[in-house]
Amino acid sequence: MNGILLVWVGRRAPEPYETLCRDYARRLTHYVPLSELRVVPAEGRAADRRRALTKEAAAIRRHLAPGDTVVPLDESGRERTTEELAQFLREQTRLRRVAFVIGSDLGLDAEIKDAADDLLALSRLTLPHHLARLVLLEQLYRACDLLAGGQYHRGRSG
């Protein structure tokens, strides 16, 4: 199984979020190699949003490798059940690394989304990036545990 890369743009979250993210990342590494990289938000964001997004996109691309399955998070993306996410991970990590990308509070440059292999929506709601990161890590852990036959995911009963 190839690994998972999580690239996110933003400032560090308040410590309770960071603690939970570290916990889910640690759990996830029992199933799959995980790399998590933070990109510092571009300067001059208030003055020129477009330029800031372009700079952030360039920084994100530096962490992506040829052959990665690139999956930005975007509210317009495809919503998946845990089971669907697990199947997606099973299929994709057999072939290559899966790189999930979370944009800054400005979002993501259209070039990143247009070049992506898939777009994932955690919800149709707009989430702060630190909460989206936490939810993504938890769902990745849940999906990998499900694939391994673990008991964390209860699924639908009946």
pLDDT tens track for 13-25 = 999 999 999 999 9
Radius of gyration of the chain (CA): 15
Q: Which residues of the chain have pLDDT under 70?
A: 1, 154-158
The total number of structural domains in the chain stands at 1
pTM score: 0.93
Q: State the first-to-last Cα distance of the chain, in angstroms, to the nearest integer.
A: 32
Q: Residue 103 sits in a domain of what CATH number?
A: 3.40.1280.10
Is 157 among the domain residues?
no
21 lies in a domain? yes
Structural domain that includes position 84: 4-147
**110 occurs within a structural domain:** yes
What per-residue confidence (pLDDT) applies to 89? 97
**Could you give the strand order of the β-sheet that contains 69-79, starting from the edge strand earlier in sequence?**
34-39, 4-9, 98-102, 69-79, 120-121
The answer to whether position 126 is within a domain reads: yes
Within a domain: residue 129? Answer: yes
What pLDDT, on a 0 to 100 scale, did the predictor assign at position 157?
A: 42
Kindly give, in sequence order, each residue whose CB lies less than 8 Å from that of residue 61, ignoring residues fewer than 6 positions away.
112
d(CA 76, CA 112) in angstroms, rounded, equals 14
152 part of a folded domain: no
In the prediction, which pLDDT does 151 show? Answer: 82
Specify if 155 maps to a domain: no
Domain assignment present for 154: no
Question: What angle do the packed helices 129-147 and 82-95 form, to 10 degrees?
Answer: 80
Helix H segments across the chain? Answer: 15-28, 49-61, 82-95, 110-114, 129-147
